[in-house]
Amino acid sequence: MKRSRRVKILATLGPASNDIKVIEELARAGADVFRINMSHASHELMRETVAKIRSVERTLKYPIGILIDLQGPKLRIGRFAEGSVMLAKDETFTLDASDTPGDKTRIYLPHPEIFSSIAVGDRLLLDDGKIELRVTAISPEAINTTVVYGGKLSDRKGVSLPDTMLAVGVLTDKDRADLQAALEMEIDWVALSFVQRPEDMIDVRKLVQGRAGVLAKIEKPQAIERLEEIIRLSDAIMIARGDLGVEMPLETVPGLQKRMIRMCRRLGKPVVVATQMLESMITAPVPTRAEVSDVSIAVFEGADAVMLSAESASGAYPVEAVTTMNKIAEAVEQDANYRGIIRAQATEPEATAADAISAATRQVAETLDLAAIVTYTSSGSTGIRASRERPSKPIIALSPKISTVRRLSIVWGLHCVQTEDAISLEDMVGRACSIAYVEGLARPGDRVAITAGVPLGTPGATNMLRIAFVGQDGAGGS
């Protein structure tokens, strides 16, 4: 099975799609990576879902990535005596440390870290930003505020703090337990929610110890302030536009999306665009024209992957949503303007032999009209470098490690295949040509470009470029 598009599709699994037959349908329709949201999944459900995905992977003989999305710190208010209250503009309202039921003047806030971090003048956004409060006074027991935008406020609504840097890390006790369980299941990616600072990434990397890729979800204004540092410490990022659009002005999000995609391309880190991409397909079999345009923009900008959330997890049309996203991506990548836009966004390669080889390989493949680029990659870094160049030719990433093959399933343009490590240069060329032929990406008489590190099997040491002919039986020769 191979895709006729380069951008990858992440599909979230949930009540509408965690049946093994539906998972197989989603994979056949175009899903490359499946996301399990730990905000809604127990360890038992996660293990069952991972087992189903691995079963589908064996059936399809196609590598599938699994991303575990950690919940992160969920800040919520307490409960009201009457279940809800109406807050009016310019009224005063207090959030305090008393766990008694709230009323029109006050509510319990069970988060001492907020009391120690917030400052006068800071904003509190409640219920996904529908209600805005401004802090007027602070004490160890209470935060006094004025209502800027009012409305109905009910029990256990979420709290966002766009102006406040919390003094605690983002990993909760639940996240640590979920992460340990996920690593035991040998998942491929772990997503860290509500990243604020580079130190958050350092904390989770110490726990993961290279056993999975670490993806930073960018959804806080504080993360934007230190964006490049966070990206450098991540294996990939996700532009989580939902929470980002709550805590920052909505009109700034499209520009931030473009900025983050380009920065990730420059730094050689995969980037996922997420949230509300085909939101109307939760209840409708077709998307809105605006949603089609939104997905198209992410593909034109060169994002590595686009993601479905509730559309595939709890919507009425999960398979149709993946099919639609696949069709949009294919149409964009065949558009006459696509290659020109992608090339215009290219950045200069880093001053390393590996990056220079990857840049040269793209140019050679396009100048000589080669059938494909074949990269041998142990750690995955060679494959990511090849993808960063966004070549017009197919990229085949070969690795002896199934963990690397699965992890690369999130990366733009990579057709990943597990194969034994080559034992010699001749074996490497023959294996590359044979796999390109078997996978349907090269025909007898075609030529392919091959990149690898010599000595063979040395991680991150890409230093060789070969051009080889594909023989009548798929064998290769220089």
Interval 322-371: pLDDT, tens: 999 999 999 999 999 999 999 998 888 888 888 899 999 999 999 999 99
Model confidence pLDDT, tens digit, residues 303-322: 999 999 999 999 999 999 99
Spot the catalytic one: 12, 145, 164, 275: 275
Residue 385 falls in the annotated catalytic set: no
The fold of the 84-160 domain, in CATH, is: M1 Pyruvate Kinase; Domain 3 (2.40.33)
Domain(s) labelled CATH 3.40.1380.20 in the chain stretch across 353-477
- Tell me yes or no: is domain 8-72+170-337 CATH 3.20.20.60: yes
Residue 58 falls in the annotated catalytic set: no
Model confidence pLDDT, tens digit, residues 30-49: 999 999 999 999 999 999 99
pLDDT at 478: 54
Report the pLDDT averaged over residues 213-242: 97
**What is the share, in percent, of the chain residues with pLDDT greater than 90?**
90
Report the pLDDT averaged over residues 278-286: 98
pLDDT at 353: 84
Report the pLDDT averaged over residues 6-32: 98
Domain(s) labelled CATH 2.40.33.10 in the chain stretch across 84-160
pLDDT, the chain, mean? 95
Q: How many CB atoms lie within 10 A of CB 466?
A: 17
**CATH number, span 353-477:** 3.40.1380.20
Judged by average pLDDT, the poorest of 81-95, 339-353, 389-403 is: 339-353
The pLDDT-based confidence of 458 (bands split at 50, 70, 90) is low
Report the pLDDT averaged over residues 439-459: 87
**What is the share, in percent, of the chain residues with pLDDT greater than 70?**
98
Report the pLDDT averaged over residues 15-34: 98
Spot the catalytic one: 6, 35, 220, 241: 35
Amino acid symbol at 116: S
Ordered alpha helix ranges (H), 334-417:
338-344, 353-367, 381-388, 402-407
Judged by average pLDDT, the poorest of 42-51, 239-248, 421-430, 466-475 is: 466-475
Domain(s) labelled CATH 3.20.20.60 in the chain stretch across 8-72+170-337
Residue 476, pLDDT above cutoff 70: no
Report the pLDDT averaged over residues 453-460: 70
Residue 133, pLDDT above cutoff 70: yes
pLDDT at 457: 63
Q: Tell me the C-alpha to C-alpha distance, in Å, between residue 271 and each of 7, 78, 158, 261.
A: 10, 36, 27, 6
Spot the catalytic one: 3, 28, 76, 401: 76
178-182 own/partner pairs: CB under 8 Å, 24+ apart? 178/38, 178/43, 178/46, 178/68, 178/70, 178/71, 179/68, 179/70, 179/204, 179/207, 179/208, 180/207, 181/43, 181/46, 181/47, 182/38, 182/46, 182/68, 182/212
Spot the catalytic one: 6, 106, 217, 407: 217
Judged by average pLDDT, the poorest of 160-164, 211-215, 385-389, 451-455 is: 451-455
Residue 35 falls in the annotated catalytic set: yes
Residue 76 falls in the annotated catalytic set: yes
